[in-house]
Amino acid sequence: MNCEKSFSMVFFKIYDKYITHGDDSFSELKIPKIAFTNICINSDYVFDDDIIIRICEKLSLQGQELEDMMGFLKND
């Protein structure tokens, strides 16, 4: 797990960059509403691995953004 930054900080930085610029829509990321709500109200919440991987693939993350997101995989 990435101990320097919270998942919510990493996610919302990426989310703001891609979604607010119209590159992709929230619905295309297929993030369950409950998961999105949880990240909004709980700074310690981390999406399940499948959601993290889907976001990385859908947004074609590379470099530091990809590394930051993948650092939160639980690999359960």
Q: Which of 13, 44, 48 is nearest to 31 (CA)?
A: 48
pLDDT band at 4 (very low <50, low <70, confident <90, very high): confident
In a domain, 51, yes or no: yes
Q: Which of 74, 31, 57, 63 is nearest to 12 (CA)?
A: 31
- What's the domain range around 34? 7-70
Backbone angles phi, psi at 5, to 5 degrees: -130, 150
In a domain, 25, yes or no: yes
In a domain, 2, yes or no: no
In a domain, 38, yes or no: yes
pLDDT tens digits for range 6-41: 999 999 999 888 877 765 566 788 899 999 999 999
In a domain, 1, yes or no: no
